Amino acid sequence: MTTRAFNRLTGLALLAIACLTLSPGRLAAAQERGRPNIVWIVAENLKLDLGCYGAQHVRTPNLDGLAAKGVLYTKVFATAPVCATSRSAFFTGMYQTTTDTQNMRSHRDDDYRLPEGVRPLTHRLKDAGYTTGNITTIGGEVVGSGKLDLNFVHEGKLYDTNAWEDLPKHQPFFAQINTLEAEYDIYDRQTWRVPRVKWKGEDQHEKIAKPQDVTPPPYYPDHPLVREEWARYLNSVSGLDKTIGKILRRIEDDGLADDTVIIFFADNGRLEPRGIHWLYDTGIHVPMIVYWPKNFPAPGNYKPGTVSDELISLIDVTATTLRCAGIARPLGMHGRAFLGDRLGPPRQFTFSARDRIDETVNRIRSVRGPKYHYIRNYYPDRSFTSLNRYKEKCFPIKPLMRKLMAEGKLTGPPAELMSPTVAPEQLFDTEADPYEIHNLVDSDKPEHHDALVRMRAALDTWIVETQDQGVFPEPKEVVAPFEKEMHDWFGTPDWYPYKSSGSN
């Protein structure tokens, strides 16, 4: 049987189920459409900093309301702590370390193609009859960038349209809507020309959080600048929620709410110096809300208005989206569906990876379980203090900490964070230590030792089974231009902490 024929039969089976469960009016709509629309609302750089997760100093009524009608997931982890790499994984359902898309903004200028059998999600949906859109505006209002930012660019046309108005109203569509509030305005790469980099839409963000009221994480110094930056981030979250409200209202006003699966998630963790780019929870722990529409029978394990602590990798959203569309998960796809029947055993671990990000070369891997988090640092000399133009310019907290450290004014966790080295292995009990400050690798407690052994073995197995390409250095000719940019930016090669590492 061909894939197209199988997909058609699957769609007919879903429609037959709908015939048994829907009222006449809703049945007519389902018969006309056949399958639900699917909308991804993808936030940038966000941890669980929403009211529905208990966050303070934010105002998020729209996302809180969506969570009240859907399922709120509490343990979802990205495969990478940075956008292009993470998106390359969840846009294919394959780990970026398997498809050689693990290095940030790679394969832009070569003839790289995805491995045989690996396809963009939108191509699979289009084969099943979906119209696909990467939305820039809704109702004339800018709500996203139409962002792709993938580490592959030669796979043909990925979307049918960039306009909401072009999506069909009586045939199924898939739309990815990107929001940019929790992001710096840095894409001209000229941030060095301005004294202070603004957040996207910062002037319109309601000032819910006040510097004097917020409490930044304890791995930062208690300093007025740190409080100001933390308040700016939280206010960007409140600004994000207003954008989400516009999106949800447009879906409702167009009469599509009862026919549209909505999956809200972030592409990677929080926009803070120790968050984005790093494999601590702050860099990979992301929110997710799923809403299932009335006009289609919900999966058996979908219970609206509930909270799920199931362990999920962001790569699983790919297979789950295919299942929502009635498409079988392709053989070999790494992600697993977390909605539906006969899903198989739940995850024990999620896996994440960080490699080169712009000019900053590194290799880090992590294993996250329900309680423990294991991180392996392949280059212990490349710590939080490693230089990166984006981080140095956009995060004034980091230069501040350099200054305070040089003046001997940092103690405790902030001083430890500014160490020039990092432990080769780190193990954190995220329940007892949510800020991941206390490394338990050398603990003599049996439960910590057992967790360390299990997670070491799990990572070693994952590296082999998924053919982790991070073991192979990028060619020198690829890394050299990035190294030159680093040297030009900081003015002296002596500042570059691993200039002699070549293509490691």
Query: Distance between CA 309 and CA 53 in Å, rounded?
Result: 12
> What average pLDDT score do residues 54-72 get?
98
Across the strands, what pairs with 175?
Answer: 39, 133
Q: CA 492, 275, 222, 495: dihedral to nearest 10 degrees?
A: -10
- Angstrom CA distances, 352 to 44, 85, 470, stand at 18, 11, 12
> For 374-386, how does the pLDDT look when each residue is reduced to its tens digit (9 = 90+)?
999 999 999 999 9
Q: What angle do CA 334, 340, 345 make, to 5 degrees?
A: 55
Helix (H, G, I), strand (E, B), or coil: what is residue 391? helix
Contact 287, 45 (CB under 8 A): no
Buried-exposed string 328-348: b where 16+ CB fall within 10 A, e elsewhere:
ebbeebbbbbbbbeebeeebe
Q: What does residue 285 show for φ and ψ, rounded to 5 degrees? A: -80, 120
Which one-letter amino acid corresponds to residue 89?
A: A
- Specify the higher pLDDT residue, 503 or 416: 416
Two structure tokens written together for 260: 């549209």
Tell me the C-alpha distance between 336 and 208, whole Å: 38
Burial 93-109 (b: 16+ CB within 10 A, else e): bbbbbbbbbbbbbbbee
So what's the pLDDT on residue 492?
A: 47
Sign of the CA dihedral running 124, 126, 128, 130: positive
Question: Among 138-147, 158-167, 174-183, 214-223, which range has the highest average pLDDT?
Answer: 214-223
**pLDDT for the residue numbered 186:** 63
- Joined together, the tokens standing for residue 486 give 């680093």
- What CATH number does the domain located at 35-472 have? 3.40.720.10
427 - beta bridge partners? Answer: 374
Please write the tens of the pLDDT for every residue from 88-107.
999 999 999 999 999 998 89
Check residue 482 and give its pLDDT. 78
CA dihedral sign, ordered 384, 387, 393, 394? negative
Give the list of residues 6+ apart from residue 369 with CB closer than 8 angstroms, or none.
311, 348, 349, 451, 455
Over residues 400-452, the pLDDT tens digits come to 999 999 999 999 999 999 999 999 999 999 999 999 999 999 999 999 999 99
CA distances in angstroms from 419 to 358, 414, 447, listed in the order given: 22, 9, 28
Inform me whether the pLDDT recorded for 324 exceeds 90.
yes
Whole-number pLDDT of residue 483: 75
What are 172-228's pLDDT values in tens digits? 999 999 988 888 866 555 555 666 777 777 888 889 999 999 999 999 999 999 999
pTM: 0.90
Which of the four pLDDT bands, split at 50, 70 and 90, describes residue 84? very high
Q: Among residues of the chain, what percentage have pLDDT more than 90?
A: 71
Using the predicted structure, report yes or no on whether residue 28 has a pLDDT greater than 60. no
Give 443-497 pLDDT, tens digit per residue: 999 999 999 999 999 999 999 999 999 999 888 888 888 777 777 776 543 433 3
Position 480 scores a pLDDT of 81
pLDDT tens, residue by residue, 236-273 = 999 999 999 999 999 999 999 999 999 999 999 999 99
Q: What mean pLDDT value characterizes the chain? A: 87
Separation of alpha carbons 419 and 171, rounded Å: 56
Q: Domain map of the chain by residue range?
A: 35-472
Residues contacting residue 284 through CB under 8 Å, at least 6 positions apart: 77, 78, 79, 80, 81, 268, 269, 352, 366, 368
pLDDT of residue 137: 54
Count of CB atoms within 10 A of residue 120's CB? 23
Q: State both tokens at 84.
A: 């292009």
Average pLDDT in the 286-292 region?
98
Across 147-160, average pLDDT:
90
Return d(Cα 434, Cα 150) in angstroms, integer. Answer: 31
Confidence of residue 141 (pLDDT cuts 50, 70, 90): low
